[in-house]
Structure 1
Amino acid sequence: MKKYLLSLLFLLVSLSVFAHLGNISGVVYDQSTNLPLKGVNVQLTNQGKATVSNDLGQYRFEDLVASKYKIELSHVSFSAEIIEITVVDNQTSFVKTSLSNANIELSEVVISSGRAHDQQLISSMDIKLRPITNSQEILRMVPGLFIGQHAGGGKAEQIFLRGFDLDHGTDIRLTVDGMPVNMVSHAHGQGYADLHFVIPELVKGVDFKKGPYNAEKGNFTTAGWVDFRTKDALDHSFVKLEAGQYDSYRAVAGIDLLGQRGRDKNQSAYIASEYSFTNSYFDNPQHFNRLNIVGKYHGHIGANTNLTLTGSTFYSKWNHSGQIPDRAYESGQIGFFGSIDPSEGGETSRTNFNAQFVTVTSNNFVIKNQAFYSNYNFELYSNFTFFLKDSINGDQIRQKEKRNLYGYNGSISKETYLGKTRWTTTLGAQFRHDLTNGTELSHTKDRSLTLERYQLGDVNELNAGLYADELVQVTDQFTVNAGVRIDYFHNQYKDLLAQPVNTKHASDAIVSPKLNFYYTFNPRLQLYLNSGKGFHSNDTRVVVPQGGKQILPGAYGSDLGIILKPFPKMLINAAAWYLWLQQEFVYVGDAGVIEPSGKSKRQGIDVSVRYQLTNILYADVDISSAKPRAIGEAAGMNYLPLAPLFSSTGGLSLQMKNGINGSLRYRYMANRPANEDNSIVAKGYVVNDLQLNYTKTKYNLGLSVQNILNTKWKETQFATESRLKNETAPVEEIHFTPGTPFFARLSWTLFF
């Protein structure tokens, strides 16, 4: 009886305590735009409680004892804020905070268990401080990622990351505001990802993660993923004019359509446009033209619902000098910036519509819906082998396609507490449907005469995916993330060259589990273990003829890493990683296509260091090493061509209160095998760039210099067998595209 009375007394006391608990509900805004600010770290001082603001800038703490609390809010490139609030029994205390833009202070960066799965991001401040000529170059800010252009600036760049020659996107997933950039079963190669439709001045930030560890990310997420986020609002309208060497000109303008009237209603709308022209540094003038137009609306359509509408169109046309064989340059037949086939070039366009809805219900469910559409056109003329196949007309090829892309992304998530354990549950669905018309590979001459069609057909490819993700903050230090996704593919190819014309189908599905652990010892130290399975889909034109075999080869990876702040103004992120692929891709230079090959493995170490030397001077360095190998091949014959072995980037960034800011950068790529037995080597390089700005309230003056030491370097290199006009036998050796020489540009920007 006594034990029963004690239990009853304990229960009554417990109920009494819980009956007198209160809550804190808050929302964070960007002071310059008065729009909600996502991803803000929010901590209750000395309480061991932390969270992150959602898409509507909202956060919440529940079951708090009545008392006074201090709330610390921090976000990269914003001033940190500390506010006090009193929690009252049985009530929810509401707080509204605005954060202002500020110089980056590494001392304010907190290693948070509340956002353990999302520690790596690139802020708009990084983008402003580094020399960038187009949005594709923003990719270079991802630690360890290198790009190389080999078609005059109009073609998507070649990408390298974590021991991968990713070609134009075979094993990295690229998105813009959640809309896919990679093109499946593309005329030039699987996963082709052209980011040139993005205006760099409109990029707000870039989220990224290496490895296949996020359940939300599907196809191509093996080496990692990168998501560009464009601005929801302009701080002010602007006009920017640039002029540089080699007949290079660029004009950009962005007009704020709603102004303060819109900000007062938490709404924004703008229109922006970009035009670029250059003849570039090649002996053969490039006549490069690019036009971008974009419009965006963002605002509340309900008390807890945001709507974002984006429309854009892009067009580009250019000539390019192609790849140069070493022997042609070394013999003096052509100059370093010359060409064998000066008629190479291309034309491409893309028009996008993107609608995003975010709703937070009264029960704190976050519901996201996104629908998108792209109309895409591509035509490229290349000549990789010159006169190897056709000694009279040459080997020029045309790759061409017209595409419509439809898609949907949706998710629902809920954050709940069971005791002190915080659970964030997310369920999502994704869909994309690609329809191409006349995907073509043809033998051509002088970009005008079609000699023979090698391939001509229509691709119909559907990808539907479901995923579930659970992020559990077990204690104040320990976080577990588990997820799984299921993807279904249906591939159809209509061969227009077959007699009679025939249509074949193939389909397959793949399950990709993820499991990640994070232990945050304190705001200065976190250990993590990531593991997961990802995949890249194979080209419809490859899998359909072979009866649907190897449509979705898997990739299995793991990262063991540490995030460390040994000093208040130093941040270190290091990881040892391993990745195994069920199937590799091989680039076939003489045909200009991608072919599937065998298994491969990669392992390596990544190290990133950020150090604030003074209040105005920042240093950074990224080092990546990798050992990529083909599995099942004899030792010495198992190298993966062009896969990077060692690379490093870094530099100094300056931000002075008088408006002077800029950066001095370097990037280094070591020698690497160009073929399977390493008998042909792609030479490494070191290149330095400079960006210097003078920024005032109403204007900005800028100087950008690429390759300030005028280094002679080879930006892209391939081991290719080719034959020149007067040669009797083919030769296999390095074929390269020369890198940018000293290239200076001046810019003037007016804000109004």
Structure 2
Amino acid sequence: MKRRRGPGSCGWLPGCSCSRGLPALAVPALAISLWPAAARADQYERCVRSAKTQAEIDACAPPDKPIEVRVRAKPPARSASDVEVDAQVIAASPHGSGADVLNVAPGVFVSDRGLPGRAPHLSLRGFDGTSGQDVEIFAGNIPMNQVSHIRSPGYADMRLIMPEVIRSVRIASGPYDPRQGDFGVAGSLRMDLGLAAPGFWLKGGVGSFGTRRVLIAFAPEYDEMMDTFAAFETDATDGPGGARGGERSSFVGQLGGGNEQVDYRATVAIGSARFDFPGYLPQALVERGGDPYAAQRPLGRDRTSQALIGSEVVWSPGEGILGIGAFAGKTKTTFHQNLTGFALDQLAGELVVQSDDSEMVNDASTFGLTVLYRHAVDITSKRDSIEMGVYSRVDSVDQTDTRLFEDGTRNAALVDATIDATNVAAYADLSLYPIRRVVLRGGTRLDSLSYSVRDRTSNAGLERTAQGFVVSSKVMADVAVRGGLHVVASYGEGFRSPQARDLAEGERVPFTKVRSVEAGVRLKEGRSFQGSAVGFGSWLGNDRVFDATSRQHVEAPASVRAGAQLVMSARSGPFGANLSGTYTHARFTGSDARFAKGDPVPYAPAFVLRDDVFASGTVGRLFGKEVTVRVGAGVEGVAGRALPGGRDGKDSVSLDAVAAVGWRGMELALNGTNLLGLRYYDAQYVYVSNFERGLPPPPPSPHVLVAAPTAWMLTLQIHVRGTPREPRYE
């Protein structure tokens, strides 16, 4: 029997819960509906596929065989603030890369967007997640975070994922799910991949600052392979001021499908990017009228290459669900930069001889395997279920940080190390329905991490080893008050692994642990309205803050965050809107040489506001074919960014929008970014820099990356559907 699969079919590894024929499970991922008079004969299927409008679909003669329909179900929510943002919201405003798409998730602030050659700076609920150190990130079932990366543990570069292949983004704020592991401190972000519709896609565009882009993609016209697609992208830009130019190319493909018993996915992402790095300008220079798009000299460069693969198989042996997943990756990042000029020798009290120019390289290989089994149990009711899973991951990392002479040749090795890291984990998760309208979920996860570090800059390259384990508990209660109104309370513990080079021989691994609570309400009225209002608090064992002198993120004292979040999503006919607002009060609860108890945690904004609105519809007919129009806009505001030394960061507001007209599979779109024309700071850091060799170093001061001015891009998209062939009879 054939079936029609809904978009984003269920996969267990990225947080999706599956169920086939198991009504006892909390959230089934398979729903079967039977219509006695409806079915799917070949003639009916061809008619539906060739239809261009809903009216033409309705006119198709109904078949006479039963049809089995598969729909997608989200995994069970672990907190009131769990949100999934769909493709309509993603398409409401222009996005330059997969990293930019994460901006649509509530509470997420993506900065350093003007540096397309490196992972973006992520903030979530007051956590200055840097490039992923506090946020667990998945593309499909591929983990994007890199262990013990030289720039920051958890470094995650999503810029090689095209916005067009991101079908939805799900955010789980807080460490409330036993499936969450390393780096799931502030929460998790999961991107579901797939094309909007089957067929052939060709998209090209040109825009401001010499920007040009080409996208080629296709997906088969075959229901049992609705998760299958392949996409290629290449783009290039000169950047504002001509100092942020570069090129990027990538391929993302997925083989996905299944039948009544088995679902499978295999995802591949391969690509590379190389962009100029302009450095950060002194804020005082910009505010005195200096060129906001100038670059520090010598001009730096960023290069990334990635080859990632992930696979998952989920099937129903008997009355349970068994899932097996595997992933592997080969990544290399190179940063050639000079943030501080000639300050390093001066800060060390030495005679200035050479510049602070340096090259950082991180070359890593990753392999992993996961297995889970879920089954219904009868503890408090027949709806109860239990899930157990195991997780394993092995990373091998070669990293160097080399100081260079002014002519670009090697001066001295600051870092030269090889790191082997192994993470083995197991978890158990129990869902109980003790009384009507009440759901209790809870579980425990145990992670064991082991490290071997060969540091060739000290001790003649002797190997240091360290190992340790961490236990994390999670629990939540969900009470259905009436209709779609729920009251939800959650508690969870999470952890972040350390920078392996900092470990001593024989040391028990010093994990950074977080304890987090959240309570609130969520309301769902079908697709017409969804919303939530929550309060939350998190206590972090020790923080990490960016330090420009070392060009890395270094240890900082313990900290606490408390705040509130409001999220609303509304749909009415062709109109839709997503609105979110997050406030976080973040303070250090400990002290060290740079920060005192009570100081604000720097760089992460206190307020993050996001609003995406869109509308689409048919406005007429041309040569008998419908003319469609869609418009959308995304506005984001951030405020309350604290900077080290008691300074206040600059607030910012940005508005991006798109307007498009479509006819016969073609769409012409005009994208605009920073339409308000505001000169805001895409990045703000405080540190000492001195680009004049003979002058004494000034005190620490703010340095900024000015966001690009108003920019436009015109794109033409062509979408061609396959034409079913009539069967041939010999």
TMscore range, shorter length = 0.7 to 0.9
* Deviation readout 1:520-566 (Å, 9 max, x if unpaired): 12233110001011011111011236x53552121000000111358
Secondary structure of the residue aligned to 1:187 is coil
The correspondence for 2:297, drawn from 328, 336, 341, is 341
Please name the residue that 2:275 is paired with: 318
Residue-pair matches, total: 667
Counterpart of 1:526, as a letter, is H
* Residues 48-197 of structure 1 aligned to structure 2 (within 5 Å): 52-54=27-29, 57-58=30-31, 96-97=68-69, 120-149=83-112, 152-197=115-160
Alignment partner of 1:199 out of 162, 167, 170 = 162
SS at match of 1:306: strand
Supply the distance in 1 between the matched residues of 2:713 and 2:132 (Cα, whole angstroms).
29
Q: 2 CA distance for matches of 1:487 and 1:636?
A: 31
Query: Aligned with 1:422: secondary structure?
Result: coil
Residue 19 (structure 1) aligns with: none
The residue that corresponds to 2:59 in the other structure is none
Q: In structure 2, what is the Cα distance between the partners aligned to 1:173 and 1:435?
A: 19
Deviation by residue 1:109-153 (Cα, 9 ceiling, x = unmatched): x99989988952121222222211100011111101001116631
Could you list the per-position Cα deviations for residues 311-349 of structure 1 after superposition, in whole angstroms to 9, with x for gaps in the alignment?
2311111112111112333455x4111112242111110
| Structure 1 residue aligned with 2:384 | 423
Shift in alpha-carbon separation, 1:32–1:203, aligned structure 2, 3 A: closer
CA displacement, residues 594-627 of structure 1 (integer Å, 9 cap, x when unaligned): 2222211110001112234x42222332111111
The aligned residue for residue 496 of structure 2 is 536
Answer yes or no: is the 8 Å Cα contact 1:495–1:501 preserved in 2. yes
Among 315, 324, 334, the residue aligned to 1:379: 334
Which has the higher mean CA deviation after the structures are superposed, 427-436 or 658-667?
658-667
Equivalent of residue 571 in structure 1, options 514, 517, 530: 530
- The structure 2 residue matched to 1:295, chosen from 242, 248, 253, is 253
Q: 1:201 to 1:565 in 2, by over 3 A?
A: closer
User: Which residue of structure 2 lines up, in the alignment, with residue 237 of structure 1?
Assistant: 200
1:386 is displaced (CA, Å) by 1.5
Contact kept? 2:522, 2:533, Cα under 8 Å = yes
1:722 to 1:653, Cα distance in 2 relative to 1, 3 A: same
What is the TM-score with the length of structure 1 in the denominator? 0.83
The residue number in structure 2 matching 1:471 is: 431
Corresponding residue of 2:676? 709
Partner of 1:460: 420
In structure 2, what residue type is equivalent to 1:184?
V
Indicate the residue corresponding to 1:370 in structure 2.
325
Distance between the aligned counterparts of 2:192 and 2:670, measured in 1? 26
Higher RCO (CA-CA < 8 Å; seq separation 6+): 2
Q: Distance in 1 between matches of 2:7 and 2:146?
A: 36
**1:192 and 1:111, CA in 2 relative to 1: closer, same or farther beyond 3 A?**
closer
Q: Distance in 2 between matches of 1:469 and 1:552?
A: 23
Taking the aligned partners of 1:243 and 1:744, their CA distance within structure 2 comes to 9
1:335-383 deviations in Å (ceiling 9; x for gaps): 11111224211111011122211111232x1111111110111110122
The answer (yes or no) to whether the contact 1:668–1:687 under 8 Å persists in 2 is yes
Q: Is the 8 A contact 2:26 2:383 kept in 1?
A: no
- Give me the CA root mean square deviation: 3.1
Q: Is the 8 A contact 1:53 1:59 kept in 2?
A: no
User: 1:36, 1:221 → 2: CA distance?
Assistant: 22
Deviation at residue 187 of structure 1 after TM alignment: 1.7
| Partner residue, 1:580 | 539
Task: Give, in whole Å, the separation in 2 of the partners of 1:116 and 1:181.
Answer: 23
Q: Which runs of 5+ in 2 are unaligned?
A: 37-53, 55-65, 346-351, 620-627, 721-730
Contact residue 194 and residue 227 of structure 2 kept, 8 A: no
C-alpha deviation, 1:692, in angstroms = 1.7
C-alpha distance in 2 between matches for 1:447 and 1:479: 65
Output the amino acid matched with 1:229: D
What displacement does 1:158 show? 0.4
Q: Paired residue for 2:716?
A: 748
Out of 443, 451, 455, the position equivalent to 2:403 is 443
* Corresponding residue for residue 401 of structure 1: 362
Query: Equivalent pairs: percent with the same residue?
Result: 18
Q: Is the 8 A contact 1:113 1:478 kept in 2?
A: no
Distance 1:329 1:420 in 2: 65
Letter in 1 for 2:714: L
- 2:344 alignment partner, SS class: coil
Question: Equivalents in 2 of 1:488, 1:747: separation in Å?
Answer: 49
- Runs ≥4 in structure 1, deviation > 6 angstroms? 35-42, 110-118
> Deviation of residue 50 (structure 1)?
9.6
Quick check: 1:30–1:36 contact (8 Å CA) kept in 2?
A: no
* Structure 2 equivalent of residue 632 of structure 1: 590
Letter in 2 for 1:387: F
